[in-house]
Amino acid sequence: MRIILISLVLAIMVSCSNPNSPKTTLSPVNPPQENIYSNTTPVVSYKTPVYEPSSSLISLEIGKDSVASYSVMEQLLRLSAPNAAIGKTKEVTGSIIFNQTGDIQPGSNMSVNADSLTSDESRRDRYLRDKSLESKMFPKITFTIVESSSIPWPLPSEGTFSFQLIGQLTIRDVSKTVEWDTIATFSKADIQGTATTTITFEEFEIQKPSLAFILSVDDEIALTLEFYISHE
């Protein structure tokens, strides 16, 4: 029995040492699988969304306590020195509209009821309504605002500032570019201020009052708007 075992061992050794004998290759039971966690997918950078400012508009409404007025120097028959004829009205409406960057937007305008201007002399008022302003045919004096200069932005909640409002002033059927010098006081509750400009009878083709008690009328007309704008 020992002789048989020795013979088998020798036979196996001779077989393994023979270069011409077939080689045995060990193969894994399960073939290697692709590494699904390898970083082969391109990386796409993430961009933070950019949010644009709101497109809503800011509208400042002219309040009911606002007053529009004119002032003209005239020489009256009963007075030795020139006198300022002043007419006023509270029938003023309008608004100033801004976008988010402070630019004046279409629809910004102010309107005065020409028929409601009243001074201390009814004869003068009647002449202005019927002949100078022709208020039955042209009931409104309008100012269309197209731009502003030096207006603080964002609108402040306090302080007093000077700036200009520029646009088209229309009296009857005549329109001219006019600049209003404006001083406004801002608070958390409201905006109050005064806007002034000077025009002439000639440039707006306005007929001067011609009445027995008026000897002469200057050519310049001072226009004033005392405005009140509530934040409510």
**Phi and psi for 5 in degrees, rounded to 5?**
-65, -40
Band of the pLDDT at 32, cuts 50, 70, 90? low
Alpha helices, H only, the chain: 2-17, 122-127
The rounded distance, in Å, linking the Cα atoms of 130 and 216 is 19
How many domains does the chain contain in total? 1
More confident residue, 30 or 112: 112
Mean pLDDT confidence for 5-13: 46
Residue 16 lies in a domain: no
Residue 110 lies in a domain: yes
Residue 17 lies in a domain: no
Residue 161 lies in a domain: yes
Within 10 Å of residue 55's Cβ, how many Cβ atoms?
Answer: 7
- pLDDT for the residue numbered 232: 65
Residue 1 lies in a domain: no
CATH of the domain at 150: 2.40.128.110
- pLDDT for the residue numbered 56: 87
Residue 54, pLDDT above cutoff 50: no
Band of the pLDDT at 41, cuts 50, 70, 90? very low
Residue 53 lies in a domain: no
Q: How many CA atoms lie within 13 A of 44 on its CB side?
A: 4
Instruction: Give the pairing of strands 140-149 and 109-113.
Output: antiparallel
The rounded distance, in Å, linking the Cα atoms of 3 and 168 is 130
Domain carrying residue 171: 58-230
